[in-house]
Structure 1
Amino acid sequence: MRAAPGPWAAAATAVFLLGDFFFFFFAAGDTATGEALPIHIINFNFETVQVTWNASGPTGTNFTFHYRFRGDNCSQCPSYLLQQGLPVGCVLKAKGDLMMDFSIGNGTHTVLSRSEWISSFLKPSSPRDLQFHWREEATTVTCPDLPYRGLRYEVQHKSVFDQEWQSTEEDTCNVTIRALDADRCYSFRARVTTKESSYGPHTYPSDWSEVAHRQRGEPRASCQKTPFSSKFVLVYGTVAALIVVLLPLSVWKLHRVKKLLVPRVPDPKVTFPGLFESHQGNFQEWIKDTQNIAVLNKTGEDREHESLLEGPLVVQRPAAKAEAPAASTTGPSHPQAAHKEAAGDPDALPCPPAPGKDRISLGGFTFVVNDNAYVTL
């Protein structure tokens, strides 16, 4: 039998393996092939780590993945992600917030080697067991906090009348949402995000939790749009009542203001009867037909004055001028004229009016007078 190796042999083996590890991770470097190999790292809630490379298309190369967490030995990927039969990623179990050293090789040389804190690529798990505590116009959403810090818990909600989700965030999973309508049905969802000050800019938000539907604190299978809520009917009913009351008042006020500023123009149909009915608004034609027509209401004085006109009319002229015509017209040489005068013919005059004299007609009688004559009725 072969004797067991001594202590020096074990020490030599450890030195050999350690030198090989450092050569594997740091001697080759990222430029072994002179080509950049994009990688994508996701730390799923410090439970598993997923590293993918060139996942957008087939690489055509059978890459291998080696890794280790600080303080552990180097290991090959326990579970590869395949695409068209070739490895394009690796899924491995995480061991807390530790730094991970890894390398990707093509069998002959190392293509890439790197060291990263897996917390820089954290993707928290989704919130679970959401609880809703309703008050009058608010609800508080609670859930178990994740076992690490530096997180933000975001709860979104919307009703059937909202177009977009509305967000509310807190440092713990105890988020209160206010200004809710108790009569409406709301949908809720939650997720966890990381603080950049704690984990850096390359982290990922968690997936959204399952959407929960609540109305007045009671679970609903879904939220469907209802015609109107009671508050909606109250508000719009009040507005409609105010419009019904204020509109006539406004019209009345407007009419008074218009009447004050713009005086009313009288209708000519009342003032000028027949102007539009008979003459189509032609005032010249209307005035020709109506200028000699006047309807007067006779008062007591008018009737008395009219009765006086029925008595004899006396025409007085100056004595010197009135006697001569009288003598010449009643003499024997003019019996026809005397007969006409005695018969009372109003149209019979001894002769045409002389120049400078005027003819007037009163009560069916025609008289010739000069400037000095006057008539007494």
Structure 2
Amino acid sequence: MEKIIQAVRGMSDCLPEECPLWRKVEDVIKNIIGTYGYSEVRIPIVERTHLFRRAIGEVTDVVEKEMYSFRDLNSENLTLRPEGTAGCVRAAIENSLLYNQEQRLWYIGPMFRYERPQKGRYRQFHQFGVEVFGLNGPNIDAELIMISAHIWRELGIDKHVRLEVNSIGSLEVRKKHRIALVSYFKRHVDMLDEDCKRRLHTNPLRIFDTKNTDVQKILGDAPCLSEYLDEGSKQHLIGLCKFLDAAGIAYTVNERLVRGLNYYNRTVFEWITDTLGSQGTLCGGGRYDNLVEQLGGKSTCAVGFAMGLERLILMLKKLELTQVCPSVDVYIVTIGEDSMVVSMQLAVQLRKELPALRIMNHFSGGSFKKQLKRADKVGATIALILGEEEIKKETVVVKDLINGAQNIYSQSEVAKYLAKLSR
């Protein structure tokens, strides 16, 4: 007998009992971003590999070790997108969305990275992302942080997250800092593990992300990027903090905060939680004012963020904030040979008159008791009962599954009763 085919490691099914919570989170996010006037964009899951190499950086962990890349039948090198910003920038350039105009865009969907699967970190994961083009002030940076804070409040997790912000300055600033950083770490090279030694010659800022406790001991005395910041970057950070203070959003300026992708400049920020252990970053973002030009467009300032939906779902489960609306409002119970046809006719009538009503017909037979158990299992609050007597009199029994009360209505008037309940 052939072995049962299983899902690819790190790529999980979302089962029916889990989907309502996913829909709740997605609906909250989409409703909130809509109130800020942002527009949805849908970008391909597959892009040319060269896009990510140019955008993210050849010597990042994502490009070096984590991308799902392949050669297609036309011998093109393609990659499953590991993040959304590069594809969104490519789409904006290709479709002339940026010339003399600003854009405020959002997207949601799966991303792919080859990593060691663990709770909160998967090979296929889902992100909600926001990208803004053509605005260069700290006010838009602050609005993106306000949007994410709005989402936390709506989901009920705002007391369990904290915000860290920083400025990583300009490219010129980072070059000066890099020289000082490399010099410092070379003096302590014996304390570095192999991964940090590799990063020393590729992206020394990433050494600050190490989980190695021995390496962490020497980080406190390493040259700090804030010592090299240009005046423009300093003022931008001060402006951002003023907007956050005015909005009542608490934050910490973490001078060691960096982001894992090479395209960032000036503002960077992360929302962090302690409820998920080591996978504590819920959302991260910042400015990337050079990326549009780097990918072939005209110089355009930009800022954005992305949040991981799997981690949001895990957090809601951990905090027991998983209550969702049931997927069914009304369950139609049938007794007798002729009742099935009538029940389906009734369902059609009710869907026409009450389009928002969620109705399920019982099709699998069984006793009256069994059918009511099924109604309860799917979360219905009302059962409509059709038996031989109701068929003859063209009536229907309406049973309230919460308090047990029941009444009889004509089949033509039951919609009016249900309409009152749904108000």
| TM-score in terms of structure 1 length | 0.20
Larger radius of gyration: 1
Instruction: Select the structure that is richer in helix.
Output: 2
- Say which structure is richer in strand: 1
More relative contact order, 1 or 2 (CA 8 Å, 6+ apart):
2
